[in-house]
Amino acid sequence: MKASLFLLTAILLVACTNDPYQGVYEGIKNNNEAKRTPNERAIFPTPSYDKYKKEREGSLEE
């Protein structure tokens, strides 16, 4: 049940963005954030999609 709910959420997020990868990233990020404690979120914040994309593109160029 949880897997189908996650899949549905991911599909809806993909449909709502211009960049489908951003929707998938946000869906996974939100799913993982829900499992973390507030203390974990404060100490290790999850990067935004733009920061993630810049880091990923930067590491591919090297």
Q: How many residues does the chain have?
A: 62
Q: What is the pLDDT of residue 11?
A: 73
What is the widest separation between alpha-carbon atoms in the chain?
42
| Residue 8 to residues 2, 33, 34, 39, Cα–Cα distance (Å) | 10, 18, 17, 29
Task: With cut-offs at 50, 70 and 90, classify the pLDDT of residue 2.
Answer: confident
Q: Where are the domains of the chain?
A: 2-61
Mean pLDDT, residues 3-19: 73
Write out the two tokens for 7: 């899949």
Alpha-carbon distance of 36 to 52, in angstroms, equals 19
Write out the two tokens for 60: 């591919």
- Predicted TM-score (pTM) of the model is 0.60
Predicted confidence (pLDDT) per residue in 20-59, tens digit: 788 889 889 999 999 999 999 899 999 999 999 899 888 7
